[in-house]
Amino acid sequence: MKATYSQRLIKLADLNHHQTFFAGRCSEYFLESSYLDENHHSKPHGVVIIPETEDEKWLNKQAVEVLEESKQRAKAMNSSVSSNK
């Protein structure tokens, strides 16, 4: 695994009401740093998760179904937007 370094200037707007670093902003910076392409496109990470227990298999099946439904909704929305132009 390749190490990635990122530096950011933390501004007052990045702090929460306790005056500590807002976790949402931290997550945003972390995700931004995790993208290994110079054009900020994601690359496959190569991690393979194999469900072993019945619960894991069920959760995996549910996740695949949700992903497919989401793709279908996005496809339908994109086609309706493009047909309205």
How many Cα atoms occupy the beta-carbon half-sphere of 11 within 13 Å? 1
Is pTM beyond 0.85? Reply is no
Q: To the nearest 5 percent, what fractions of the chain are helix, strand and coil?
A: 50, 0, 45
Taking CA atoms, 66 is separated from 30, 50, 71, 76, in Å, by 25, 18, 9, 15
- 55 and 76 within one domain: yes
Instruction: Report pLDDT digits (tens) over 17-70.
Output: 999 988 888 888 887 777 666 676 667 767 788 999 999 999 999 999 999 999
Domain extent for 40: 1-46
- 37 and 1 within one domain: yes
Predicted local distance difference test score (pLDDT) of residue 40: 64
- 41 and 11 within one domain: yes
